[in-house]
Structure 1
Amino acid sequence: MSKGFKINELVVYPAQGVGMVERIENQEIGGATAEFYIVRILSNNVTLMVPVSNATNVGLRAVCSKKKATAIIDSLKDRSDFTGYSGQNWNRRYREYSEKLKSGELCDVAYVLKELLLIGKDKELSFGEHRLLEQAMGLLSLELAHAMEVEQDVIRTDIEALFADVIRPKENQ
């Protein structure tokens, strides 16, 4: 399923976000030689070594297409799947959302962002939920920006505009 990635190609690593393949190198580990992608995550400059043979299993993938990015933005506009704040334990929601962010699937990241923005309309988010919201916004906006070839701030502003009716002013948070 996974195609080989090339040097200078943008890729997405689950829960870390968009990175660039800086090099592909062989390393000897435990007496065996293995090939690794050396990926620098753009948002925080962290460097990851991803075994080429295990890249698909860990969820390393190409940045989404422009068409998929547009579909993700459209999915954010659709609120028909939002069931509302059900009073569900914040800890249970936090675990569920954390797993979705770790999945690396863009639609899961968008789901978490939308849910937390809409829940935040009715109640104040916990500190952990607010961190997840920021993580989801960062992951989603950076990948969509690269897919659509615009600045991340443009995507972030567009997303915030979609939820202008539910985002609380900062002084009230």
Structure 2
Amino acid sequence: MFSVGELVVYPAQGVGRVEKIEEQDLGGAKAVLYIVRILSNNVTLMVPVNNADNVGLRPVSGKGQGQEILSFLEDRSDFTGYSGQNWNRRYREYSDKLKSKDLQDVAYVLKELFLISRDKELSFGERRLMEQAMGLISMELSYALSIDQEEAKSRVEALFADILSPEVQEHDDQEDI
């Protein structure tokens, strides 16, 4: 059970704070609800206490898990590419992973899209999913690692500097000559 003031993560929404725990009458039945305010967009969610685990409400990751996510993002050994998968199938897969309560699933989407962007320009939909994943990852990492969100985003982007920076690629190409 979460307490008032505690930071929590709601899948696909991000980090929020439990503002209240209150009992409400919903359609004739009494329900105890967490009132959670999402910090990034000020949206208020009402989550039934007895259903919180089923919807994926969880505590914010700790420092160790934050470091594990950065290591996971850095490791490219599991990337197989988008070999033949069409965009619709990948979109559904990525959307499901962004709704997961496991932060590593969100990190997977971010890593895949960064690595796909190495080979082709991302479509509008892919860029939108990448921005959503980056927002979710950077916000949670900022709390897990006790840094601001821009610093967290910079750390993630630094892991993919070889993809993001054309100057780095040109420099690498010149060394091969």
Scaled by the length of structure 1, what TM-score is found? 0.93
Cα distance in 1 for partners of 2:3, 2:62 equals 17
Cα distance in 2 for partners of 1:85, 1:103 equals 21
Runs (5+) with no aligned partner, structure 1: none
Partner of 2:155: 158
Equivalent residue for 1:68, pick from 59, 65, 70: 65
CA RMSD of aligned residues (A): 1.0
Bigger radius of gyration among the two: 2
Helix, strand or coil: the match of 1:104? coil
Moved over 3 A (4+): none
Q: Measure how far apart 1:85 and its partner are.
A: 3.4
Cα distance in 2 for partners of 1:22, 1:31 equals 24
Q: Measure how far apart 1:152 and its partner are.
A: 0.5
Deviations 1:95-148 (A, max 9, x none): 100000011210000000000000011011111111100000000110011011
2:82 aligned with 1:88, yes or no?
Answer: no
Partner of 2:28: 31
Partner of 1:134: 131
Cα distance in 2 for partners of 1:103, 1:54 equals 15
Question: Are 1:121 and 1:168, in contact at CA under 8 Å, matched by a contact in 2?
Answer: no
Question: Are 1:85 and 1:122, in contact at CA under 8 Å, matched by a contact in 2?
Answer: no
Percent identity of paired positions between Structure 1 and Structure 2: 68
Deviations 1:30-51 (A, max 9, x none): 1111110000001111000000
Matches within 5 A, 1:2-151: 4-151=1-148
Q: Measure how far apart 1:77 and its partner are.
A: 0.8
Cα distance in 1 for partners of 2:165, 2:23 equals 50
Cα distance in 2 for partners of 1:20, 1:60 equals 11
Q: Measure how far apart 1:84 and its partner are.
A: 2.1
Q: Measure how far apart 1:168 and its partner are.
A: 5.9
Q: Measure how far apart 1:154 and its partner are.
A: 0.4
Scaled by the length of structure 2, what TM-score is found? 0.91
Cα distance in 2 for partners of 1:76, 1:88 equals 22
